[in-house]
Amino acid sequence: MTELICIVCPKGCHLKVDEEKDFAVTGNGCPRGAEYGKKELTNPTRVITSTVRVEGGAIRRASVKTSSDIPKGKIFEAMRLLDNVTLQAPVHMGDIVVHDILGLGVDFVATKNVPPRT
């Protein structure tokens, strides 16, 4: 039995995951918690957020996120892909910044509109 705090939403349910019973989850407030509990013990993943450089924009950086969660062990490797990215303004929310991160089928996408500098 492993005790976890659910991170699916800010509520932070206190989960109990039973490894003996095919990772059965109790203490979850919603089905997503059950899914999280199992995944956290078998293949933990996270959504990563950061920024990239923007040229010619009203601000110097555009915020980005992974379009879906990626394995915890790949976080720093994925971050390095952003080091040398420079976008040109305008940037639109949802623009793909890095396609198919590390072959995971997940993209880095912009999470902010950056209009051109006026």
Minimum gap (Å) between residue 61 Cβ and other proteins: 4
Q: Among residues 12 and 105, whose Cβ is nearest to other proteins?
A: 12
Q: Which two tokens stand for residue 31?
A: 């089905």
Nearer to other proteins, 20 or 88 (CB): 88
N- to C-terminal Cα separation, the chain: 58
Structure tokens at 59: 């601000």
CB of 22 to other proteins, least distance (A): 23
Helix (H) or strand (E) holding 104, with range, is none
**Closest separation between CB of residue 76 and other proteins, Å?**
8
Residues that bind other proteins (CB under 8 A): 4-10, 12, 14, 46-53, 58-61, 63, 65, 72, 75-76, 79-80, 82-85, 93, 111-113
Cα–Cα dist 108/66, whole Å: 4
Residue 71 CB-density burial (10 A; 0-12 exposed, 13-18 middle, 19+ buried): middle
Nearer to other proteins, 56 or 60 (CB): 60
From residue 78, give the alpha-carbon distance in Å to each of 48, 98, 108.
9, 10, 9
Least distance CB 50 / other proteins (angstroms): 6
Nearer to other proteins, 24 or 59 (CB): 59
